[in-house]
Amino acid sequence: MNDPRYEGMRERMVESQLRSRDIRDERVLRAMGKVPRHLFVPEDMRRHAYNDEPLSIGEGQTISQPYIVAYMTQALELQPHHSVLEIGTGSGYQTAVLAELVDSVCTVEILPGLTSRARKALDDLQYKNIRFRIGDGALGWDKFAPYDGIMVTAAPGKIPGALQAQLRESGRMIIPVGVAFQDLVMVTHGRHRFNRKTLIPVRFVPLVRSS
């Protein structure tokens, strides 16, 4: 599992894809240097796991490019006592990065097969601070709300109201928005209103609607 070849690839990924760009948060860099990304992709894809690109890993699913994972995580400005909601568990890789940084992670995925694979990978790595749910992420997960951070890794046409409503005051949500072309949008919960700021153009799979 701690194959030294993968450790070397991971160190190079952190230096050449993250630190050399604009990833400055040391906690995020440390988490990305620790989580074994190759264990979240199928065996025949492992040698590509640390490449500077997203990977298709079956069932129409993609694991985001390492830089995008780091960028979105850094943007949430997470602290150790925070709780985070993730929409789109997918491989579970982003879930692991979040679980390194905060007290508790709730993650929602619409495809049961992906949840069970991700859960197995995360259990094998002994993460104890993750709750899994199968369902429509557009509805969030009310039971454990409000969240200090919400990370959405599939793109809706517009921001689901239920997610915004589950954000703690002063919390931050990062979400790709758009149909053909998408932008990452940062939503902050100010005292009297929600503020939105457009960050960078991105490509994510669409947020599937359950109804």
Find the Cα–Cα–Cα–Cα dihedral 64, 52, 3, 27, rounded to 10°: -70
Find the Cα–Cα–Cα–Cα dihedral 156, 159, 160, 165, rounded to 10°: 150
User: Residues 94-123: x/- map of binding to ligand SAH (CB under 6 A)?
Assistant: x-------------xxxx--x---------
User: Residues 169-208: x/- map of binding to ligand SAH (CB under 6 A)?
Assistant: ------------------------------------x-xx
| CA–CA distance, 204 with 207 (Å, rounded to integer) | 9
Rounded least distance, CB 151 to ligand SAH, Å: 8
Q: Is 64 a catalytic residue?
A: yes
Please, which residue, 88 or 171, has the CB nearer to ligand SAH? 88
User: Which is catalytic among the residues 16, 20, 56, 64?
Assistant: 64
Position 91 contacts ligand SAH (CB under 6 A):
yes
Please, which residue, 25 or 136, has the CB nearer to ligand SAH? 136
Please, which residue, 168 or 203, has the CB nearer to ligand SAH? 203
| CA–CA distance, 94 with 149 (Å, rounded to integer) | 14
Choice from 9, 39, 72, 154 touching ligand SAH (CB under 6 A): 154
Binding site for ligand SAH (CB under 6 A): 61-64, 87-88, 90-91, 93-94, 108-111, 114, 136-138, 153-154, 205, 207-208
